[in-house]
Amino acid sequence: MPAAVADRRYSRLHLENPISFDSVHNRLGRLDRIYLRAPIYFLTACTAQRKPLLAKQYVHEAFIRFAKQGPAHGIWIGAYVLMPDHLHAFVALDAERVNLSALMKSLKNALSKKLRERGVAPPHWQKGFFDHVLRSQESASEKWRYVRENPVRAGLVKDSSEWRYLGEIFALDYRVERL
């Protein structure tokens, strides 16, 4: 399991800021080289023609099943939000076993399979996806606030706690090490 992953379960309190960070003493910041053993990625994928396909209980259940099977394949999905026409997720990978493109292909295929079972004709997804490596606590906290409040900004709920298609599968810890 990569250093970025802690096997803790979802809790409502933790959902407020699910990405925690080890503090790094920065006495001479430019002289210490820092690297991430297993970075945390912020991922976004959109549906084809922005069709509202994802904010459905059966899609949410398929997403959770996929995410819970992830560690067997070197994938840990942390906090996420399924919006009607796109999804956001924080992810850590075992880079020796899987890459982002393979992860997204598998995730899109798993959710498309469930949509086809329900009679939703393809195409389901836009080509490609957006990814961003989280580089700091500030970056992660900012991204999580954005993700968590997405349903509110879209006018789908008054408070993010009301959105049913939001959660956390694995708590991801951002760990920094010195060389």
* C-beta of residue 134 within 8 angstroms of C-beta of residue 140: yes
pLDDT attached to residue 4: 45
pLDDT of residue 105: 97
Query: Between residues 9 and 88, which one has the greater pLDDT?
Result: 88
Task: Look at residue 64 and tell me whether its pLDDT is greater than 50.
Answer: yes
Q: Which residue has the higher pLDDT, 175 or 165?
A: 165
What's the confidence (pLDDT) of residue 29? 43
Say which CATH class 5-178 falls into: alpha beta
CA distance 93 to 74: 6
Sign of the C-alpha dihedral computed for residues 86, 52, 69 and 15 taken in this order: positive
Least confident of 94-98, 113-117, 157-161, 163-167: 94-98
pLDDT of res. 138: 67
Q: pLDDT tens-digit profile of 79-114?
A: 999 999 999 999 999 888 889 999 999 999 999 999
Burial of 28 (0-12, 13-18, 19+ CB in 10 A): exposed
Q: Is the pLDDT of residue 49 over 70?
A: yes
* pLDDT band, very low/low/confident/very high, at 177 (cuts 50, 70, 90): low
Taking 50 as the threshold, does the pLDDT of residue 41 lie above it? yes
Task: List, as own/partner pairs, every contact residues 165-168 make where C-beta atoms lie below 8 angstroms and the sequence separation is at least 24, other chains included.
Answer: 165/54, 165/55, 165/59, 165/60, 165/81, 165/82, 165/83, 166/15, 166/80, 166/81, 166/82, 167/10, 167/15, 167/64, 167/79, 167/80, 168/10, 168/14, 168/15, 168/18, 168/78, 168/79, 168/80
Q: Please tell me the chain's helix, strand, coil percentages from 3-state DSSP, rounded to the nearest 5.
A: 35, 25, 40
Q: What is the pTM of this model?
A: 0.78
